[in-house]
Chains A and B, each alone.
Chain A
């Protein structure tokens, strides 16, 4: 049975866990290195990237996450996308650098600029209601990176092998298609 963890340092981790449970997936909130051992995939949730970055190295190290993301599926939403990326951030946030894309933090401004918008998905014909909260922007991306959703011609969801990143929050809506897509990635 597929087991997917949700990094539980800070942010909307319980919302992701709720979606996984709805989909019948065994799910665990990950706060310690040893919890990664039996997982097929990991979601790094939205929250504040500074907070998550600052606390990695306490009971769960960067090296643990790095080696996990080299082998298994990892899905980063918002702050999680920033942590997966390899540039575009600021010195306050360390990045894993496993996803070949530059991500700019909080690229739209303060909360009153946050928004929702229906975006087209490359793998499904029905659009997805995407919620962007103080969202990051994907500034540039490498050749191995596949664009799965765009907003105004700019990618908002990308994939590179078993790594998936979204600038928005699929866990805040009842639409489970993106989580299903990630689960399939982990099962491949």
Chain B
């Protein structure tokens, strides 16, 4: 019996496809998310919009709070650790977390190095802005990628940019001669062995999800139509005026992402989405997507 192989880690990411992973900060929210049809929940003390608001150092959440959420729901529970903070990741693994998000939403612990994720039994998801960043994280052992977007803004523009950048990078690789792949790997700053696989298969070797700025059913559909295989919703649900119905609407929008009749149906009657903040108006040092490389 082989546990924690890369195949088994990526296997869980495969099972989350076509689903919505929702940020929750307590047991009540976790239950609302599960009832609404979330495929998994991300347990954290503050959603990204509040991390922006309160400032300070954003760290791994209190394990007790994560454990309470784990007990309350039957779906997979994820939690975030700081970039490079492998001790936080060890604690999350020890408490039996289903997926670890090495996340730019928390204050980075290491500005040069990410966690060596192959050493862990639990699978990891990491954010990326472009193909090079995605392949570096996969090289370190990430079993799932997601766009960074710009978390906590409710502005989808950065997630769109990141998804398009990754997909454009993949299409470029597919057009290249074998002789060109090494130079492209150098340009991307990506491991050559993974560059070769992507050039051959025309897709990342792990599922690629959307995250960072999803606030409406239409946002979720847009990301799915751009090639996301599932959607993370952070502040978008519990910062809105109607979390339960918005959560359910986004779940349906992901399943029926290419059916405008359903999208119209589920978008009607929702109360106000989160107010949000244009990502463009953020000063550079407040842009979370710039954390990590």
Cβ contact of B121, chosen from A46, A47, A54, A112, cutoff 8 A: A112
How far is B22's CA from A50's CA once the two chains are assembled, in angstroms? 15
Whether A67 sits at the interface, judged by CB under 8 Å, is no
Q: How many residues of B contact A (CB 8 A)?
A: 43
Whether A23 sits at the interface, judged by CB under 8 Å, is no
A9 and B255 contact, Cβ closer than 8 Å, known pairs A117-B2, A131-B7: yes
B1-50 CB contacts (< 8 Å) to partner A: 1-5, 7-9, 11-12, 14-19, 34-40
How far is B70's CA from A100's CA once the two chains are assembled, in angstroms? 30
How far is B262's CA from A140's CA once the two chains are assembled, in angstroms? 39
Whether A13 sits at the interface, judged by CB under 8 Å, is yes
In the complex, residue of chain B having the shortest beta-carbon distance to the beta carbon of A79: B15
A55 and B14 contact, Cβ closer than 8 Å, known pairs A50-B74, A134-B76: no
Cβ contact of A116, chosen from B2, B12, B35, B251, cutoff 8 A: B2
How far is B16's CA from A50's CA once the two chains are assembled, in angstroms? 12
Whether A155 sits at the interface, judged by CB under 8 Å, is no
Contacts of B18 in A (CB 8 A): 8-11, 13, 47
Contacts of B34 in A (CB 8 A): 50, 92
Contacts of A105 in B (CB 8 A): 74
How far is B39's CA from A54's CA once the two chains are assembled, in angstroms? 11
Chain A contact-residue range equals: 35 or more
Q: In the bound complex, do residue A106 and residue B99 qualify as a contact, i.e. CB atoms below 8 Å apart?
A: no
Q: Among the listed stretches B90-98, B134-142, B178-186, which one makes contact with chain A, having 4 or more residues with CB under 8 Å of it?
A: B90-98
Whether B123 sits at the interface, judged by CB under 8 Å, is yes
Q: In the bound complex, do residue B93 and residue A48 qualify as a contact, i.e. CB atoms below 8 Å apart?
A: no
Q: In the bound complex, do residue B255 and residue A48 qualify as a contact, i.e. CB atoms below 8 Å apart?
A: no
Whether B58 sits at the interface, judged by CB under 8 Å, is no
Q: In the bound complex, do residue B96 and residue A172 qualify as a contact, i.e. CB atoms below 8 Å apart?
A: no
Whether B122 sits at the interface, judged by CB under 8 Å, is yes
In the complex, residue of chain A having the shortest beta-carbon distance to the beta carbon of B229: A14
How far is B37's CA from A11's CA once the two chains are assembled, in angstroms? 12
Contacts of B5 in A (CB 8 A): 116
Whether B86 sits at the interface, judged by CB under 8 Å, is no
Cβ contact of A46, chosen from B7, B9, B15, B93, cutoff 8 A: B15
Whether B192 sits at the interface, judged by CB under 8 Å, is no
Cβ contact of A55, chosen from B16, B40, B251, cutoff 8 A: B251
- A interface, over-half SS: loop
Q: In the bound complex, do residue B15 and residue A47 qualify as a contact, i.e. CB atoms below 8 Å apart?
A: yes
Q: In the bound complex, do residue A51 and residue B19 qualify as a contact, i.e. CB atoms below 8 Å apart?
A: yes
In the complex, residue of chain B having the shortest beta-carbon distance to the beta carbon of A111: B98
Cβ contact of A133, chosen from B15, B74, B252, cutoff 8 A: B15
A115 and B8 contact, Cβ closer than 8 Å, known pairs A10-B39, A55-B252: yes
Whether A188 sits at the interface, judged by CB under 8 Å, is no
A63-107 CB contacts (< 8 Å) to partner B: 78-79, 90, 92, 105-106
Contacts of B252 in A (CB 8 A): 55, 58
Closest CB in chain B relative to A168 CB, distance in Å: 10
Contact with B along A42-56 (1 / 0, CB 8 A): 000011101100110
How far is B79's CA from A3's CA once the two chains are assembled, in angstroms? 41
How far is B80's CA from A163's CA once the two chains are assembled, in angstroms? 41
Q: In the bound complex, do residue A12 and residue B17 qualify as a contact, i.e. CB atoms below 8 Å apart?
A: yes
Whether A31 sits at the interface, judged by CB under 8 Å, is yes
Cβ contact of B251, chosen from A51, A59, A112, A169, cutoff 8 A: A51
Q: In the bound complex, do residue B74 and residue A109 qualify as a contact, i.e. CB atoms below 8 Å apart?
A: no
A9, A12, A15, A48: residue with the most chain B Cβ atoms closer than 10 Å: A48
Closest CB in chain A relative to B204 CB, distance in Å: 14
Whether A113 sits at the interface, judged by CB under 8 Å, is yes
Contacts of B3 in A (CB 8 A): 112-115
Closest CB in chain A relative to B265 CB, distance in Å: 9
Whether A125 sits at the interface, judged by CB under 8 Å, is no
How far is B17's CA from A46's CA once the two chains are assembled, in angstroms? 10
User: Please, could you name 21 A-B residue pairs with CB atoms under 8 Å apart, sorted by A?
Assistant: A10-B17, A10-B18, A10-B255, A11-B17, A11-B19, A31-B256, A47-B16, A48-B19, A48-B40, A50-B75, A58-B252, A105-B74, A106-B74, A110-B70, A110-B97, A112-B4, A116-B8, A134-B12, A134-B76, A169-B14, A172-B11
Q: A90-B74, A114-B4, A117-B1 are in contact. List 12 more A-B contacts (CB 8 A).
A: A11-B15, A12-B17, A47-B16, A51-B19, A55-B251, A92-B74, A109-B96, A114-B8, A115-B3, A133-B11, A133-B15, A134-B98
Binding site for B on A (CB under 8 A): 8-15, 31, 46-48, 50-51, 54-55, 58-59, 78-79, 90, 92, 105-106, 109-117, 131-134, 169, 172
